[in-house]
Amino acid sequence: MTVITKESPFKIVFVCLGNICRSPTAEGIFQHLVNERELDPYFYVDSAGTSAYHIGEPANSKSQKLANEHGIELRSRARQFEKNDLEEFDLIVAMDRENLANIKSLDGSKDYEEKIVLLRDFDPNPGDGEVPDPYFGGMDGFKNVFDIVKRSCEALLDELEEKVSR
């Protein structure tokens, strides 16, 4: 079992397509939960996209609006997921099966397969297993994504917190 310490923080990256909606929302929510539980020194949280469409851009304004309404800041800038991220991170969390497949395609040797998962694997109500892309769904789509991501991140952190050695 992996033990998470201050000296060896757990590195987690959330991944979607463009890194402007779902994955920065997950990064922001997860970091917020980590801070609330006073676990900040034990985790390094990041996000990325499998495409290069939005590199350098902030999170989508609708994602930011919803997060801000919940006291959460989305500070990240979009970046593309790279092959070296496979080694760098302890857990790679994809928002949907397409991005999961894109990430796994970078792992030709299958050395990192066990640490590449779907976020909704942790969702108490996993639905179809995917966090839908809210980009064209209006505010209702973004609200749905926020709710899915929040409860999934809470469950994920509950599981990881058991491995923290204070």
Say which amino acid occupies 13: V
Q: Which of 21, 22, 46, 79 is catalytic?
A: 22
The reply to whether 16 belongs to the active site is: yes
C-alpha span between 131 and 152 (Å, rounded): 10
Report yes or no on whether pTM surpasses 0.85. yes
Predicted confidence (pLDDT) per residue in 102-139, tens digit: 999 999 889 999 999 999 999 999 999 999 999 888 99
**Gyration radius of the chain's alpha carbons:** 15
- 46, 85, 96, 133: the active-site residue: 133
Q: Between the CA of residue 126 and those of 59, 86, 97, what are the distances in Å? A: 25, 25, 13
Q: Taking the domains of the chain in order of start, what are their residue ranges?
A: 10-161
Length of the chain: 166
Q: For the domain 10-161, what is the CATH code?
A: 3.40.50.2300
Q: 3-class SS at 127? A: coil
Cβ count within 10 A of residue 125? 10
pLDDT tens by residue, 78-91:
999 999 999 999 99
